[in-house]
Structures are given as structure tokens and as C-alpha cells.
Structure 1
Amino acid sequence: MKKIKVFSVLALVLAVPIFIAADHVDAPGVAGSSADIADYFAFEPTPGSDHTVFIVDVQSNVLPSLTYGAFDEDVLVEINIDLDGDLVEDQVIQAIPRDGIMYFFGPFNPSSTGLSSQVAFENALGSVEISGTTAITTTTSNGVSLFAGPRQDAFYFDFNRFNEVIAPSPSDNSGFNVPGTDTFDGSNTLSIALEVPNALLGSPSAQNVIGVPVYKTWVTTNRKQ
């Protein structure tokens, strides 16, 4: 077993259907690396589906040419799922790259929780070739769909106009432009995506504001020590 300790953690409670959390450019220790969590999505692929989709975007500002950066083989991504409302992970899904392949493990009930983890080799889920310009997906024998590779950055934000509006002495106080200019258009992130049957995850204990059962879930990145 390879010991993995946390390098950077982003913890967010999500609801299903979709809740989006965006966090581009973290602390200097993770910024610009695949330990930097940019976005995390969890949602039903269709209303009332018995599957859940999880998408983790890491390393913002990957160039459209796909030549900048790659998944770091020393970074383990963990999707954590709380089933009983105590905000402690009851199920974990792991993803880690090796030689152009993304390997997935879980879902499994971890023997320990918190800020250190081990790669759960005994809970192998499946693997997929890391995509380049053409998307590659695979589906495991138990119905889990897998993907890893660069994708268009989902973050839409007029960053230049934002800086103009919040400047100490803005020359133009008219507010934001409609429509604005997407500063991140043409940039990519590195994405890890899974569609998982809920039967493999367990029953959610929470409900969203419209009464739909949801999973409480967050993602962490962990660097090998």
C-alpha cells in the first residue's frame, strides 16, 4: 500500500440535481498543478435517474493546444460521500494516473478518515486511457462510466471587467457588461468524470430544498509523501 497524505483540500457540500462550485487558482503550493481543484460537479444525468455523475476539474488555465501540464502521478483525487449526515466520508472513490491511464478505486468504506489516505488497490473499479484531442470513455462491468482528460473550462467569468468594476477608483461605474466577455474561453481544465449507479454508493440521507434526496459530497486532492 502506498501512503498518501493530503497536499490540498477543498471541501464542499453538494446537492443533486446540480450544484456547482468553482475555485480557480488556489494557494501557491497547488496553483497551476493537478492538485489545484478548479470545479466540482455532482448531478443526476436525467431527472429521477438512479445514477449520479461526478466531475472533478483540476489545474485551471491549461492551454487549448493541450501541451501545458498533465495529471500528476503523485496526486490522488478522492471523491468523498457522507451517507449519514455527520460530514465524515462513508464512501470514497479514488482516481490516480499512471503512464497515460487513469485508475479508479471504490466506492469503498474507508478504514480511516480525515487528512491521510491509502490507495485502495483491493477495491479496483476500472481504468480509462487519458484522452487527448479525442474523448475516450469506458464502462465497467458494473455500469460505471469513466473519463479523464482535458475539457473546455466550465467557468464563465469576465475577469477583466470584474477588476475594472472593483478598482479603488473605477473610471466607469456602469457595472458589468451584458453580455460580458468570457476570459476563460478557449482554456481547458483536466477533468475526471464518472457516472455511478446509486446502488454502489448507498442511500443518501439528505434532501435539497425541493425535497429531492441528495448526497453530501466533497473532493480532495492528496499528494504522496
Structure 2
Amino acid sequence: MKKTTKYLLGLGALVIAATVLVAADHIDAPSSAGTTADIADFYAFEPSEGSDNTVFVVDLQSNVLPELAYGTFDEDVLTEINIDLDGDLVEDQVIQAIARDGRMYFFGPIAPSQTGLSSEVNTDAALGDVEISGATAIVETTSDGVSLFAGPRQDPFFFDFFQFNGVISPETESAPGGFLPPEEAADTFDGANTLSIVVEIPNSMLGVPTATNALGLSVYKTWVTTNRKQ
């Protein structure tokens, strides 16, 4: 019998998978900020041109600093990659990830038993699992050709935070010249980490993409949600 646990929707970020499309959403609502229910970035892309695989990268909790102990994945938070195959913006396939005892367990791709604001862990659709990495990255590849990773990765978000604040608060007169050119801007979050979940999976396991991007390429419509156990 399938074991299920109900999770209620926390928050989400929407991306239509192309060669590379990104939704940056660092530091969300107070109830999720600083936890692994807080989605920082979501990426979906081909690992190389013409590849038959798709890579999904979910970055969570964007304030994991390298000099501090690495954060941990909340075992009461389910991360779910949602894939729409018919254009109605309702998930037709899901890939689920949840942490247990130092490992990240993945399930799917599978048609969800329910859609919308709540989810159930589909434990009868095990995809694989991987030890959660520390300073050294650990990648597990399954017999189906699926590669899995969970752990800290450097934050890819380039943001000159203090210059930005100076620009939007002109009364401080700290940025009278506006934004700086790239070669002069400071990457405020350089060296900071996110907690990342990465899945590289053959497209044959996902279904046929039905959307087309601006480059005329066939792509998946995909978004990620985090759901907390209730």
C-alpha cells in the first residue's frame, strides 16, 4: 500500500524550462525565510545542446554562509518540481524530494494523486536517494541514468546589495551616480551558499514537452513548490 503524508503549500517559483531560464526570489515571507521552505532560485535547462536530458536545480535558503555550519534540510518540508505537459498550468508530472536522516529521497516522475495546494509523498514511485553533501559534493547516478545531488552550493545570485539600497533610497546620497557598471559592481553575496537540490533526468521519463520558447525550441512548463507537513 502506498504510504502518504499530506503537505500544504508553502510557496513557489514559476519557470518555463528553456536552454536556461531563472526565477530569482531570495528571502520570502517571514514564516519561511531562513528555512529550506524558502525558495531562492529555480533553474531548468539542457546540460548541453541537443541533450536528451533535462536538469532541474532548486536553490533553497539563501543565507548559508561558508564560515558557519552548513544548514540542514527540514525533514518536514517537501520540495516538489511540477511539470505541465498539456498547457493548462496544472501539474501532470511531479518529482518530489524530502530529507530523512542525512539523505535526500526522490520520488517520481509520477502523475500526482492530487493537484493544487496540498501534496502527498508518492513513496511507491521511488526515483533514488543520495547522501546530503557537506563540503565535498556527492552525486548519485541511478541505473535509469538519473543523477541526484543535495547540499550546499555557492549562491549564483549576483547582486550589489548596498549600491541597490543607495539607488532606491536617494535621500541617503550614497549612490548619486546610480547603478555601477558590471566591472565596478560588488557581488555582495559572493561566497555565500544556498542549499541545493539537483536532478538530471532523461526526457523520456518526463513525457513530451508541448510548449515552445522564444527560440522556437520545445520546452517543458515547470515550476517548483515547497510544502510543509501539517
Q: Same fold (TM over 0.5)?
A: yes
Residue from 192, 210, 213 that aligns with 2:215: 210
2:13/2:23 contact within 8 Å kept: no
Which amino acid in the other structure matches residue 167 of structure 2? V
Matched residue SS, 2:162: helix
Gap runs ≥5 in structure 2: none
Gap runs ≥5 in structure 1: none
Residue from 137, 140, 149 that aligns with 1:138: 140
Tell me if 1:200 matches 2:202: no
Q: TM-score, normalised by structure 2?
A: 0.95
Matched residue SS, 1:146: strand
Offset, 1:210:
1.2
Matched residue SS, 1:13: strand
Matched residue SS, 1:156: coil
Which amino acid in the other structure matches residue 178 of structure 2? G
**Which deviates further from its counterpart, 175-184 or 188-197?**
175-184
Which amino acid in the other structure matches residue 211 of structure 2? A
Offset, 1:16:
1.2
Residue 29 of structure 2 is matched in structure 1 by 27
Cα gap change, 1:136 to 1:66, in 2 (>3 Å): farther
Which amino acid in the other structure matches residue 197 of structure 2? I
CA distance in 2: counterparts of 1:122 and 1:51, whole angstroms: 23
CA distance in 2: counterparts of 1:30 and 1:203, whole angstroms: 34
Residue from 189, 194, 198 that aligns with 1:189: 194
Residue 128 of structure 2 is matched in structure 1 by 126
Tell me if 1:113 matches 2:118: no
CA distance in 1: counterparts of 2:161 and 2:69, whole angstroms: 24
Residue from 155, 159, 179 that aligns with 1:176: 179
Aligned residues: 225
Residue 102 of structure 1 is matched in structure 2 by 104
Q: TM-score, normalised by structure 1?
A: 0.97
Q: Which runs of 4+ in 1 moved over 2 A?
A: 1-7
Residue 65 of structure 2 is matched in structure 1 by 63
Offset, 1:163:
0.2
1:66/1:132 contact within 8 Å kept: no
CA distance in 2: counterparts of 1:111 and 1:6, whole angstroms: 14
Which amino acid in the other structure matches residue 32 of structure 1? G
Offset, 1:112:
1.3
- Alpha carbon RMSD of aligned pairs, Å? 1.1
CA distance in 2: counterparts of 1:65 and 1:196, whole angstroms: 33
CA distance in 1: counterparts of 2:123 and 2:216, whole angstroms: 37
2:160/2:186 contact within 8 Å kept: yes
CA distance in 2: counterparts of 1:49 and 1:56, whole angstroms: 20
Offset, 1:68:
4.6
CA distance in 1: counterparts of 2:153 and 2:123, whole angstroms: 28
CA distance in 1: counterparts of 2:133 and 2:68, whole angstroms: 10
1:66/1:150 contact within 8 Å kept: no
Matched residue SS, 1:12: strand
